[in-house]
Structure formats: structure tokens, C-alpha cells
Amino acid sequence: MKHPPYHLRINKAVDRFALIEAIRRLEKLGNLNEYNYYGLGGPYLEEFRLLYEFYPEIDMFSIEQDEETYKRQKFHLPCGTLHLENMDVKSFLARYDSGGKKSIVWLDYTGLEYSDFEDFMLLLTRVAEKSMVKITLRAEPRDYFNKGEEFRKKFSAIMPRPSEDPPPMVHDFAYLLQEMLQISSQKALPADVPIKFQPVSSFYYSDGTNMYTLTGVIWPRREKTAVKQVFKGWKFANLTWSEPRLIDIPTLSTKERLCLEGFLPCLKSPGKTLRKALGYLIDEDVPITEAKLKQYADFHRYSPYFLRGIP
């Protein structure tokens, strides 16, 4: 099976670091050694590598359907606390039994199907309370350009306005997916149930394909202020289902990044400040350059370095 270089995708890498940050805040609400992590790490198991680096106390499980990729994962195994499972997501969900242990699960899909939302709903009803669930979906409006009826047939049961066409702009499309996940969460855990899905962050980004990702926790309704308290200081928190945030950091050389280090963090006009620090444009014009550099200022702590190494 052919795979794109997931581990070299810069915006996805930022999203991974955002998950690390979300877990760091989760730690303030309980011990991480009470958690298992489940993910669809692909051939390079990048998020597992990262998780092990930051939180070695978490037991990790990788779910992989393709047998060849599974063999490749065995080759890349980053640590002994990672268990590789050769099965598809549906089989995983059918067999999944939390046994009361808290989970962090990342449903990292590459497409957009109604069954993905069903998986999400099912998972919300199965995980132990105080678990964390992250879901990533393809957010390409062009897939449904002039195909509104097809979109409605697929998703009308969870659409906020089931008779309308999906929007053509990426931001609006990503927001629609978020609303659909919100409806799914309300269907899975209606207000009569003592636990709820509380969103903590939501982003959309593109490394060639537009993707949307939502992270949230399954928490007792009576303790919701505790969650809000822990996450509210986070710059990228989305605790109220407000519009998702774009991750679109510019490609900067290592030399440029080192040059900008002294100006960061930058609270006042970061785009303008960093553009002046560089002394030249990195994109078409001043506004785009400043917008890109503002993105960099926002996410620089999560931005990875890709360097040439000696094997």
C-alpha cells in the first residue's frame, strides 16, 4: 500500500503537537497512567513516537487494517509500550471494552463517510468517562461540488439544515462538519445522560488535502466547569463549538526560524513584526505574508523542524 509522507506534513505535525498539549492539560484532571491510547498511526507511527517521548506512562495501541502496513509498523516500532493490532476500525470498535479504564482515541480518517460519524457516536457511548476522543475527517468541498443531493443523502440525518447544499468554501465546509459532529455527539449522549462530549479544540488544515479535526473529552455534566477551567487558558481551546481554527503555517528555513526566535512570542501585530524582522516577503504580497507569519507566531511552538540527518 502506498502512503503519502504523513510524518513530513507540516500542518498535520502542528495538529499532533496540539493533541500533545491537550493531553498535557488532561493530566491536570487525572493521572495519565490511568489512560490507554488508541490510534491509526499509519506506517511511520508518528504520533506514537511523539506520545512516548512526552508521556511514556501511557499504554498505546495501534489499529491497522492493511497487513503490509502492519508489517511496516512492526519495523518502525518506537517503543515496547506500543501494541500493534492488525484489524480495521469497525472490528476494533466491536471488540473494544474499556473495562472502566480511560482512553484517548484518535479516529484519524482520511475520507468522509457517514459510517465515520457512526463510529464516533458508538465510541462516545463506549469509552469510560473522563476519556478523550479526537476525530479527523476529509474536508474537501470540491468533492461535493454540484453534488448537493448526494451529500444530503449521505449525511442528512446529522446535518444542521438537512435541505441545504454543503458550502463551497473550505472554512464553512469544515464548520459544517463540526456542526455534524456536534449533532452526532448530542444524539449519542443526549442531555438526559449524565456525561457529555465537551469539545476542547478544533482545527482545519491542508497539506495537499483539506482536513478537519475535533478533539473533546467525555466528562460528567456536573463537573464541566473543571474541564473548562483547565482548558480555558489554552490559546487554541474551543470550548463552545465556535468556528474551527485554521492551521496554515508557512514553510520557513531553519535559518529564518532561528532569526525569528528572538521576536517570539509576539503579542502585538505579530505578522507585521516578523515580516519586518525578516526584511522581505515570503508570499505574494504584504497582507498574505503577514497572515502567514501570524500563523507561524501562533503555532511556532508546535512547528516541527525537518533536518537532514546522517543515518
- Residues in the site for another protein, rule: CB under 8 A? 1-2, 66, 90, 113-115, 117-118, 152-164, 179, 182-183, 186-187, 190-192, 196
CB 65 to another protein: min, Å? 9
Instruction: From residue 227, give the alpha-carbon distance in Å to each of 103, 127, 141.
Output: 16, 17, 33
Q: Which residues face 64 on adjacent strands?
A: 86
CB 19 to another protein: min, Å? 25
Nearer to another protein, 158 or 211 (CB): 158
CB 151 to another protein: min, Å? 10
CB 212 within 8 A of CB 204: yes
CB 161 to another protein: min, Å? 6
CB 3 to another protein: min, Å? 13
CB 153 to another protein: min, Å? 5
Long-range pairs, 76-85, Cβ under 8 A, ≥24: 76/43, 76/44, 76/45, 77/45, 78/45, 78/48, 78/49, 78/52, 79/48, 79/49, 79/52, 81/52, 81/56, 82/45, 82/48, 82/52, 83/59, 85/61
CB 178 to another protein: min, Å? 10
Nearer to another protein, 53 or 67 (CB): 67
Nearer to another protein, 152 or 245 (CB): 152
DSSP conformation class of 293: H
Nearest 10 degrees: Cα torsion 277, 278, 284, 285: 30
Q: Which residues face 36 on adjacent strands?
A: 59, 103
Nearer to another protein, 192 or 285 (CB): 192
Closest of 127, 136, 99 to residue 217, by C-alpha: 127
Nearer to another protein, 149 or 283 (CB): 149
Distant-in-sequence, close-in-space partners of 264: CB < 8 Å, separation ≥ 6: 297, 300
CB 164 to another protein: min, Å? 7
Nearer to another protein, 162 or 265 (CB): 162
CA 292, 110, 46, 31 dihedral sign is positive
Closest of 68, 63, 100, 99 to residue 83, by C-alpha: 63
Nearer to another protein, 118 or 256 (CB): 118
β-strands 210-220, 195-206 pairing: antiparallel
Instruction: From residue 308, give the alpha-carbon distance in Å to each of 13, 276, 305, 311.
Output: 17, 29, 10, 9
Nearer to another protein, 117 or 219 (CB): 117
